[in-house]
A = this chain, B = another copy of it.
Amino acid sequence: MSMRRSAEDAAATRRALLVAALAEFAESGYAAATLAGVAARAGVTRGALYHHFSDKAELCLTAIEELWAEAAMPVWARLDGPEPPVRRVTDFLVAFFTALEKDGTFREVYALSVRGAEGAPELARGLTDKQAIMERWRGQLTDLLGAAPLRPGVSPRTAALAVITAANGTAVTWLACPDLFSPAREARSLADAVLHGLARPDGDG
């Protein structure tokens, strides 16, 4: 049917395949997802898919890498800026919860990375990357919270861990039971509760 088109169309096909792959993998998991489903969702055949990507694993890893950056960057950017540390962390959590509910790409790439690809050793590269990302994330938060007025007994490392687990916990709880609550609506009160448990009540961060 649709024969050779321009190079821009090829890029669009590739992009559509990445978006479709992310949705398929996030919905069904890596093992249960089928490349026929990905191709159908993208409106092409499996031949097109194998033209752009060598195999299932490369498709999955490429989708995570390329789409994660653009979806997550504006959220993580909240950790930088001139505001006081506690304020930045709060803003980050609120942005995280909001993106989780409102941004389909953000939600899908997060669900896929959290659900993991156990049973698929060919994705080990992506998983070690995730490990590194997690540790860099904790380091960044530790530095940030080290400059914040934490209440006594709370180390910056523990505070960073609490922030990470709060974000992950909200995400997986809502992904598992979407009817339980609304991350976007309760984002502020949840973030406040987390930070209130960590920071000194009189500290302005």
Within 8 A of B (CB), among A180-205: 180-181, 186, 189-190, 192-198
How far is A56 from B173 in the complex, measured between Cα atoms in Å? 26
Q: Which residue of B164, B190, B198 is within 8 Å of A165 (Cβ)?
A: B190
Residues from chain B with a CB closer than 8 A to the CB of A119 are 27-29, 32-33
Q: Does A166 contact B (CB under 8 A)?
A: yes
Given A29-B31, A29-B119, A165:B158 Cβ within 8 A: no
B177 A168 Cβ-Cβ under 8 A: no
Residues from chain B with a CB closer than 8 A to the CB of A77 are none
Given A28-B118, A158-B193, A197-B196, A165:B170 Cβ within 8 A: yes
Residues from chain B with a CB closer than 8 A to the CB of A154 are 189, 193
Measured CB to CB, the nearest residue on chain B to A133 is B177
Min CB–CB distance A134 → chain B (angstroms)? 5
Within 8 A of B (CB), among A120-169: 120, 130-131, 134-135, 138, 151, 153-154, 158-159, 161-162, 164-169
Residues from chain B with a CB closer than 8 A to the CB of A194 are 162, 197
Q: Does A102 contact B (CB under 8 A)?
A: no
- Number of copies of chain A assembled together: 2
Q: Does A172 contact B (CB under 8 A)?
A: yes
A134 B29 Cβ-Cβ under 8 A: no
Residues from chain B with a CB closer than 8 A to the CB of A120 are 32
A116 B176 Cβ-Cβ under 8 A: yes
Q: Which residue of B116, B131, B170, B173 is within 8 Å of A115 (Cβ)?
A: B116
Additional 8 contacts, C-beta under 8 A, given A32-B120, A153-B192, A161-B181:
A27-B119, A115-B116, A135-B180, A153-B189, A162-B194, A165-B190, A172-B172, A196-B196
Residues of chain A whose beta carbon lies under 8 Å from any beta carbon of chain B: 27-33, 114-116, 118-120, 130-131, 134-135, 138, 151, 153-154, 158-159, 161-162, 164-170, 172-173, 176-177, 179-181, 186, 189-190, 192-198
